[in-house]
Amino acid sequence: MSVELIDPGQFAEADRIPEVLERLKKTQAVAETQPLGLRDGLACFNYLYTIITRQVQRDYLDGKFTNGDFITRLDVAFANRYLRAVDGEAATSPAPWRCLLELRDDRRISPLAFAVAGVSAHVNFDLAFAVVETGAEMGRLGGADHDDYQHLNSIFFREMRRLRQHFEDSEERRFERSLGLTTLENLLGDIVVVVARYLAWHKAKRLWATRGDGTENAAIEQRTARSVGAFNRWLLKFDRTVRHTFTMLLGRGRRP
């Protein structure tokens, strides 16, 4: 697939979030032409990401951020990394995104697992570097910026929970209810988002302190890509083998 990338020299303006949304719309349309349609792995994450980006825009327009300039610049820098990763062949994509692109047409992987893998790639891999990029553009990385950064957690919580309701079919919902997993998965999902975003901010602060050392930061990015890529591949394969198997067995056991 191919999507038009944001011009990295132009994303600083606050009105560029609508431009991001337009590119996410194009990405969604292309992803849904793939064999699994709405359940295509990339379509699952892109759907969630589009909703989150729309909510960021609404909160910006409603004045809910202390410094809307920082958050809008970060939002576009963040999106630019994602769009660059999914533009072109999977083989050239960073490892955290490559596994999602390579396994996106596997019917045995749940839409929720695809979305979580995408969130992992974007938060655990992309976010810290996008924060540093934004800080460098603005010439600062301060406490008020962190407060706005934290505000995004509530958006992730709400939309990750709604995603389950949007994508799960009756068999998947029955599987969760029978094992009491819904509340547990919501709690774990919230914890993962908080911890991942906390770690990403602190990684950004370390990168900010050494931002003059391009070689060291490039090495950190490569190490992060390898570790997050390995985790994401494990996550998707675990979902394919364990969750899919139990869902199928449960479905057979309930048939008359």
User: pTM (2 decimals)?
Assistant: 0.82
Domain presence at residue 95:
yes
Q: What does the pLDDT average to over 68-89?
A: 88
CA distance linking residue 190 with residue 156, whole number of Å: 8
d(CA 123, CA 193): 8
Structure tokens, 40: 């295509």
Residue 9 lies in a domain: no
CA distance 173 to 68: 39
Please tell me whether residue 249 adopts helix, strand or coil conformation: helix
Identify whether 252 is part of a domain: no
Give the tens place of pLDDT for each residue, 123-134: 999 999 999 999
Its domain, for residue 138, covers 14-241
The structural domain count of the chain equals 1
Let me know if residue 135 belongs to a domain.
Answer: yes
In a domain, 223, yes or no: yes
| DSSP string for 78-98 | HHHHHHHHHSS-GGGS-HHHH
Is residue 248, in this structure, part of any structural domain at all?
Answer: no
In a domain, 218, yes or no: yes
Whether residue 171 is contained in a domain is answered as yes
Helix axes of 181-209 and 170-179: crossing angle, nearest 10 degrees: 90
pLDDT tens-digit series, residues 202-233:
899 989 988 877 788 889 999 999 999 999 99
